Amino acid sequence: MKESDVKKRASLAESKRVQKLRSEIARLRGAYHTKDSPVVADDVYDSLNRELKSLIEKYPEFDDLNAPENRVGGKPLDKFEKVKHEIKMFSIGNVFSDEELFAWEKRNLKLLQRSDLKSSKRSDLKLDYFCELKLDGLAVSLVYENGKFIRGVFMRKNVLKKLNERNKKEDKPLFANSRNAAAGSLRQLDPKLAKERHLDFSPYEIVQIKGKNWEKQIEKHSQKHEILKKIGFVVDEHSRKFSSSKDIPSFINEISKIREGLPFGIDGVVINIDDTNIFKSLGVVGKDPRGIIAYKYPAERATTIVKDIKINVGRTGVLTPLAIFSPTSVAGSMVSKATLHNTDQIGRLDLRIGDTVVIEKAGDVIPKVVEVLTHMRMGKEKKFKMVEKCPVCGGKVQKKEIGSPVRKISSGLTLLGVPSGTHTVQKSYELANPSVAYYCTNPKCSAKDERFLEHFVSAFEIYELGPKILRRFKDEGLITDAADIFTLTREDIAPLERFGKKSAENIIKEIKLKKKIPFSKFLCALGILHVGEETARDLAVNFITLDKLAEAEFEEINEIENIGPAVSESVYDYFRNKNNLLFIKKLLKNGVVIKKVGKIKENKFTGLIFVLTGTLSQMSRELAKEKIISLGGKVSSSVSKNTSYIVAGEESGSKLKNAQKLGIKIINEKEFLDIL
């Protein structure tokens, strides 16, 4: 096969992709600009646009000045009188990272060195920048007797809230965001209706002042802002001037921390070259002036093409389909796979291999596919079919409806105080959200063993034992199950290649420290189906000891608040399985000690959810969790809109940023100790 043939085929595929992207972008632009009724989030539109841009950069023959992506705005509505802009309105290009920002500056400097602008012929040319917030609004051009202004029209968040509350009462459609509400308000044929919407506007540019030599008098973009302020306009108070681009990222990060608390919506920071002469000399590329760029915050959503759907085998044997795609940037990190949960979810999405999809990654959450862009289909997409054999061990795969209406329970074990005798109980119940799951039925599946070991050491917080080390110990015959971890010795580990005495000592030291474990964490470590950290805490608080939980009937478990029939069935069945009870007995024999559950002293934290992040100096995070639970509160491992407080210690990470974004109340360690 000739290399040229390969290129031709690849180029044809890319050509079809470009056509599809242009068609979809044109459709989305029409909905956004003309109808003020976007059908996808801005993140999704930006992602498609970026893909198209990268393809055009790769294949310049695809560039077309008349294409939708090179036009500003949308088609004017026929109901309004058409007016030609005296000064052309442009769009603003986007960057999404510090690297892209610096690359934009580098391109401009290279262009300026080649230009005829006298002031730019120095080899030491240095650019000053003026940064301002990128309002989530509608750009308009207004003419006044003494000048002409382009300004951002926007709607404050509290006004949007009131407008949507009124629309809800009147059974009218709700606005998705301030931008849509502002744009829709301006397009009202009745000016009285537009007035009722309480729009605000903030000018960000003086385009022209009619008079002699005005451009010579105003040579800086920052000067324009000062003039606008003196005239009486409300301009962005957060704007700042920088003499070096290296200082801009810290400003962008600073704004991101207060973003959610602003009275208006923003989706980034606009960076202008402050010198208006240099700005003008750089000119325009397509629809974007080269001297201005918008730095957009990391998108929580992005688009990508599903190349394959693979199967992951979990610790309980459940088969989870994963969407596989090329590395894609979302929420500030690169991802190449996303969970599809189960076949029901694939069916609901109507997802096929080859589809263009929207992926979402909010905060610490695992990426997931949330939408399929069916308009992007080429006709060669393939439907997914669940495997009949486990992809790891080849074991038979069984289909099971989670929480079937009829259940049979058998018991006849004497371990841990479970009464002897065998009986069968028929229980009938309905699940609120029944779903189908597929399981590997092979009890000796290596994938199940590996996932369980990883889960187990994570619950016990034995951080020295990562997946590779666990696999090595199992391959070397040092452990057959998780209970064997607690009988390991320095002499077992030290002789292994790449370990040595010091490494072995560190591992054994941590294992010994973690032998004593709270009841809730012990339950979580067992890997009982449907039992995570929160459910384990609920079970521990209600049953106090392992024996009491092991003896509990289905009805007793099911009566606990927040625990439904599927969880109750899973817990009940777990403690009626002989192998499970033998495993627990082995853990206790090997030195694991279950801490007694402290009774809830008072209910001052009832209904409150805490998230701990960073390092606490006055107490361990484990002790902090116990204190919260003892006062009736709950501790979550991730931030969500339901979080009540985030307790921020030193070196707090992404959880703190997510809390700031969601407007969650943040308290430091001292404030936390004060409310205990």
Active site residues: 134
Residues marked as binding? 42-46, 91-92, 132, 296, 390, 393, 440, 445
Where on the phi/psi map is residue 566: left (φ > 0), alpha (ψ -120 to 50), or beta?
alpha
CB distance 136 to 177 below 8 Å: yes
Provide the pairing of β-strand 147-154 with 138-144: antiparallel
Amino acid in the structure at residue 655: K
Task: Write out the DSSP string of 201-213.
Answer: EEEEEEEE--STT
Indicate the burial class of 377 (C-beta count within 10 angstroms; 0-12, 13-18, 19 or more). Answer: middle
Contact 380/354 with Cβ under 8 angstroms?
yes
Strand pairing category for 266-273 and 240-242: unpaired
Using CA atoms, how far apart are residues 330 and 253, in angstroms rounded to an integer? 17
**Are the C-beta atoms of residues 383 and 352 closer than 8 Å to each other?**
yes
Which tokens hold the place of 124?
Answer: 């030491």
Strands 516-518 and 593-595, by their bridges, are parallel
Q: Which of 309, 312, 314 is nearest to 530 (CA)?
A: 314
Binding-site residue numbers for NAD(+) are 42-46, 91-92, 132, 296
> With left for phi above 0 and alpha for psi between -120 and 50, is residue 451 left, alpha or beta?
alpha
Which amino acids are annotated as binding site for Zn(2+), given as ranges?
Answer: 390, 393, 440, 445
List % helix, strand, coil for the chain (3-state, nearest 5).
Answer: 40, 20, 35
- Does residue 235 contact residue 229 with C-beta atoms inside 8 Å? yes
Cβ(351)–Cβ(304) below 8 Å: no
CB 178, CB 155: distance < 8 Å: yes
Nearest in space to 448 (alpha carbons), one of 345, 535, 368, 527: 527
Task: Work out the angle at residue 107's Cα, subtended by the Cα atoms of residues 104 and 111, and round it to the nearest 5 degrees.
Answer: 140
Burial label for 52, CB within 10 Å (0-12, 13-18, 19+), is: buried
CA atoms of 503 and 478, how far apart (whole Å): 16
3-state class (DSSP) for residue 528:
coil
For 265, 538, 643, the CA distances from 429, given in Å and listed in that order, are 47, 22, 32
